[in-house]
Amino acid sequence: NGKPSVSDDQHVHFHNLDDGILLEAAREVRELTGARKLEAWKPWFPVIDFDRCTNCMQCLTFCLFDVYGVDKQQQITVQNQDNCKTDCPACSRVCPEVAILFPKYGKGPINGDVVREQDVQREAMKVDISTLLGGDLYGSLRNRQREARKRFSTERDESKALLERKRCLGKLKKDLDIPDEVLMTLPTAEDIEERAARAKAKLEKRQARSQTVNDSRPVPSDTEWGI
């Protein structure tokens, strides 16, 4: 029938195969599939500098790949580092305290070098998300979705939609140094809105817990106030 037989109690042994032949075969497969070259692969993951981190949760809100989360103490942590996209330092770009490091990044201070004020200014680290997206993050996403649906229902012009997407992607690439292959894997507008809503809910839950803790503390006495 043209199909190889399969049996759990049989073993296949290969002979006269050296490392060179196997590596050459792997290179041919990578070229055919367009996979990343083995020698070009590098581990890519964020590291949080907790001495600088203020737990503002901006990275949690911004990241679209669920890399970040919070622990039982409501402290921001890297929970799914395998989800991080190679060569994408976008979350570090939007961190207001330059507290997210990528050891394999080619420039400082993102790579762990000493953070200087001139570095912050030159690298444009303190990117305000609301400024980048033109207003409130969630409102901006909703407005863009409504406008896109309105355009599609009235114009049905796919070429204009493609140009708009390219323009937005170009802005992200320029402002946040996001590589092309990462931009091409960005989720749809609906997915982005859903993830943003989940991130907002997490942030509001954390803030509510913090407020509850503050409210449960006893009112300072006159002595404690220094009266």
- Ordered by start, the domain boundaries in the chain are 47-208
Give the whole-angstrom CA distance, residue 213 versus residue 218. Answer: 10
Contacts of 190 (CB under 8 A, 6+ apart): 145
Give the whole-angstrom CA distance, residue 65 versus residue 114. Answer: 28
Residue 93: exposed, middle, or buried by beta-carbon count in 10 A (0-12, 13-18, 19+)?
buried
Residue 21: exposed, middle, or buried by beta-carbon count in 10 A (0-12, 13-18, 19+)?
exposed
What tokens were used for 214?
Answer: 């503050």
Q: Which three-class secondary structure state does DSSP give residue 7?
A: coil
In degrees and rounded to multiples of 5, residue 77 shows phi and psi of -145, 160
What tokens were used for 200?
Answer: 């907002």
Give the whole-angstrom CA distance, residue 26 versus residue 39. Answer: 12
Give the whole-angstrom CA distance, residue 146 versus residue 125. Answer: 31
Contacts of 169 (CB under 8 A, 6+ apart): 183, 186
Q: What is the pLDDT of residue 40?
A: 54
**Cβ atoms 124, 175 nearer than 8 A:** yes
Give the whole-angstrom CA distance, residue 214 versus residue 98. Answer: 28
Work out the end-to-end distance of the chain between its first and last CA atoms, rounded to an integer number of angstroms: 94
The structure's pTM equals 0.49
Measured torsion, CA atoms of residues 43, 46, 52, 53, in degrees rounded to the nearest 10 = -160
Q: What is the pLDDT of residue 49?
A: 92
**Average pLDDT, consecutive stretches of 10 residues, N- to C-terminus, the chain (227 residues):** 61 67 76 64 83 87 85 91 86 84 86 79 52 52 59 51 58 65 63 69 74 61 49
Give the whole-angstrom CA distance, residue 169 versus residue 91. Answer: 16
